[in-house]
Structure 1
Amino acid sequence: MENQDNVLEVRNLEINFDTFAGTVKAIRNVSFDLKKGETLAIVGESGSGKSVTTRAIMGLLARNAKVANGTIEYQDRDLLQLSERDMEQIRGVDIAEIFQDPMTSLDPTMKIGRQIAEPLMIHKNMKKDQAEAEALKMMKLVGITNAEDRINDYPHQFSGGMRQRIVIAIALINYPDILIADEPTTALDVTIQAQILHLMKELQTKINTSIIFITHDLGVVAGMADRVAVMYAGQIVEYGTVDEIFYDPKHPYTWGLLNSMPTLDTKENTLPSIPGTPPDLLEPPVGDAFAARNQYALKIDTQKQPPFFKVSDTHSAATWLLDPRAPKVTPPATILERQKKYAAMHEKAVAEAKRAEQEQHRSGEEEG
């Protein structure tokens, strides 16, 4: 039965890519829900399938990609069954995306006011003057100082952090139900990153949008997400609230990700890392895809894929270690230490971001 709180439901999604080497099974039986007004983070190493999953939601898969199975339900419609014309009515209006690098998302030859206004002119047939007035409001909402003076500037006249705010303004101008943020702070320094994350949370409350936040950095997730889906080799391997994933992780892959998070106290020259490399998805392994890299692997891991074991009503993980017959294994002691340190670091970063935001707002008012 469908949950009325869900704004999006992905079920049994399978996506293959046809390549010269053969068929790559990139997404393998992925299911998740997105609730109204929440932030769901999808985390995992590069190549785990995070971006491919969201490209499927946006209807922006590469030509050599084929959806082999599954549904993506939005407003009682399966997005995978819609024509390109129907998807154009949804994309950028109901479901919008912020991409990694703002410079590749912005047109260097077009004034930013026009770029922010364009989705209103295209999707809502708004007149240019009215659309640009709305763009000016959105520029102020995303914290661009002296917006009246800057509306006619070009992208190269803005800093990286400001360009990312412009990209966010473009994504939010139609007040979408769902915002997909694909590593939106990767190219920014830590202080600006904290400001952008704080801004996104603030805007989410104001316009009541749901966010799918993609990142390889579990640290970013701590203050951003409500729930977390951990992806590995095209599958979700653990699913839970942010506190469950941070303070009670159950999958050895999640342990590895948490353990490789740096903190200010990290004194070693090299961070702990997960040994080995992800499997070749031309021929996915028979059992648990993580078995070859898992120091806690059991014999059954190489023979049979683990089902999801329920930890709580909101938390489950696909690992044979949760089978009642499995030997008891405790996660590395360093994980809990890192979690505590990171929680303190994150609170400090958020406080600094808020302070910087207020100072920027004050200086903008003084200049105005």
Structure 2
Amino acid sequence: MDSILDVNNLHVTFDTYGGSVQAVRGVNFSLNKGETLAIVGESGSGKSVTTKALMGLVAKPAGKIPKGEILFEGKDLTKLSNKQMQKIRGKDISMIFQDPMTSLNPTMKVGKQIMEGLILHQNQSKQEAKKRALELLQLVGIPDPEKRINQYPHQFSGGMRQRVVIAIALACNPKVLIADEPTTALDVTIQAQIIELMKNIQKKMETSIIFITHDLGVVANVADRVAVMYAGKIVEIGTVDDVFYNPKHPYTWGLLGSMPTVDSQEEKLIAIPGTPPDLIHPPKGDAFAARNEFALAIDFEEEPPMFQVSDSHYAATWLLHEDAPHIEPPEAVKRRMKGFSTEGDNKNE
């Protein structure tokens, strides 16, 4: 497949009174045309900072990108000025933020907010932009768009506001759509509707999507590939099947073990012990070692490289070294893996 976005050795730091926070530490991934890549991990793992870097939204002067490149269609976005990024942001790369109420201007009608990008980036007249805004409201499933286009955000429910945010993000037919936990603030029923909506839109528009979430259930439904982040690094990456049915990193085991499945109602969920490390002073060796019950002596001394499991699957754990002892995932994690398989079979019936 053709790659539309390549992130190479990306580092993002933030200067604070306590020191420099190394929020993203050498991240590498690619995004193919028409693909959905999910980035998962606990809060503070660097997911949102990574995507803000892609959008040129790292807050300056505290935030910096000291190393790395973000290649979009061969152009390094880290080298562009804010004015140059404004031409790409919203037009070629667009973002759906987590909370629709803070993303929308409460003093402006939703129609005008959708039309803004069309007038700015597509040079459309107000009449053309309004026609397109009506089409977008219909596309994202908002009933009676002729009436709704003249209403304010407070007149919409949470789920409908998120649909408006998606309409704004899609207005200029972006090549890359970044969704930063777009379903977190919504109830389960509305979450399912928004996920289904995004899948349908992707089929129609062939948009490439980066989906940020901490909910592995969402990942199973929406993604083609999964990148697992911890302490500012990608520790495992592969297809959904690779990561869900053949996970290799103990942190991925912990995430899977902490997630309920259809068959796990009676079973106690696994909690990952401890807390993520302080990224002002990142630990020596594997950042997950202090929380990892399967840690080897080398984990506390040397950072593991990214080992290749298959053509599509990579994981950064010393357990994959040829001299490491063979350690299987915990039984509870294996049961979760079987649960995912059962749910997948049920969906296909």
Same fold (TM over 0.5): yes
Task: Give the aligned partner of residue 166 of structure 1.
Answer: 164
RMSD of aligned C-alpha atoms? 1.7
Residue type of the alignment partner of 1:134:
R
Task: Give the aligned partner of residue 21 of structure 1.
Answer: 18
The CA deviation at 1:339 is 3.1
Task: Give the aligned partner of residue 220 of structure 1.
Answer: 218
Which of residues 70, 73, 76 is equivalent to 1:72?
A: 70
Partners of 1:46 and 1:100 in 2: how far apart? 13
- Judging changes above 3 Å, is the alpha-carbon distance between structure 1 residues 350 and 219 closer, same or farther for their aligned structure 2 residues? farther
The CA deviation at 1:125 is 2.1
Which of residues 17, 32, 37 is equivalent to 2:34?
A: 37
Residues 1-368 of structure 1: matches in 2 within 5 Å?
A: 5-63=2-60, 64-267=62-265, 271-342=269-340, 344=342
8 Å CA contact 1:120, 1:174 repeated in 2: yes
Partners of 2:78 and 2:94 in 1: how far apart? 16
The CA deviation at 1:350 is 11
Residue type of the alignment partner of 2:76:
D
**After alignment, is 68-77 or 245-254 more displaced?**
68-77
Partners of 1:26 and 1:234 in 2: how far apart? 5
Partners of 1:52 and 1:347 in 2: how far apart? 35
Partners of 1:191 and 1:262 in 2: how far apart? 17
Partners of 2:43 and 2:153 in 1: how far apart? 28
The CA deviation at 1:269 is 9.0
8 Å CA contact 1:119, 1:173 repeated in 2: yes
TM-score scaled to structure 2, two decimals? 0.96
- List runs of 5+ in structure 1 lacking aligned partners: 352-368
The CA deviation at 1:257 is 0.2
The CA deviation at 1:122 is 1.4
8 Å CA contact 1:57, 1:79 repeated in 2: yes
8 Å CA contact 2:258, 2:269 repeated in 1: yes
TM-score scaled to structure 1, two decimals? 0.91
The CA deviation at 1:336 is 2.9
Residue type of the alignment partner of 1:177:
K
Partners of 2:267 and 2:242 in 1: how far apart? 30
8 Å CA contact 2:264, 2:336 repeated in 1: no
Identity %, equivalent residues: 62
The CA deviation at 1:345 is 5.1
The CA deviation at 1:340 is 3.5
Q: Secondary structure of 1:222's match? A: helix
- List runs of 5+ in structure 2 lacking aligned partners: none
